Amino acid sequence: NAGVMQNPRHLVRRRGQEARLRCSPMKGHSHVYWYRQLPEEGLKFMVYLQKENIIDESGMPKERFSAEFPKEGPSILRIQQVVRGDSAAYFCASSPVVRDRAKETQYFGPGTRLLVL
């Protein structure tokens, strides 16, 4: 069973360009989470999605950032008009549907390292 897959693993963009980060959850998982890790900092929750629905985007910046998880295909984290402060590692996690949410385990992908020049 393949793990969570993310691509690209490394992405370089110039200021003002768009960045698209893709995440394919583990087989059978219908919940996707995105976290961001700024240099020398801990991981911070950004957004939680289920198929075709954004459940919680409270950790995502209000402007320039958007996320989707379509019925078919991977989840996409999109950053428009990137700035240097967007340089970070972006991690995706997935989890299965579990009745007791407290026991729901999230499994992480290898991350995408975004560098904005």
| Binding residues vs other proteins (CB under 8 A) | 4, 31, 33, 35, 42-45, 48, 56, 59, 89, 91, 93, 95, 101-111
**CA-based torsion, 27, 35, 42, 81: positive or negative:** positive
Residue with Cβ nearer other proteins (17 or 107): 107
Of 57 and 68, the one with the shorter C-beta distance to other proteins is 57
C-alpha–C-alpha distance, residues 76 and 22, integer Å: 5
Look up tokens 């904005």; give the residue: 116
> Cα–Cα distance between 21 and 30 in angstroms, integer?
18
Q: How far is the CB of 80 from other proteins (least distance, A)?
A: 25
The Cα 9–Cα 22 span in angstroms is 10
Work out how close the CB of 49 gets to other proteins at its nearest, in angstroms, rounded to a whole number: 11
Closer residue to other proteins in complex, CB, 15/27: 27
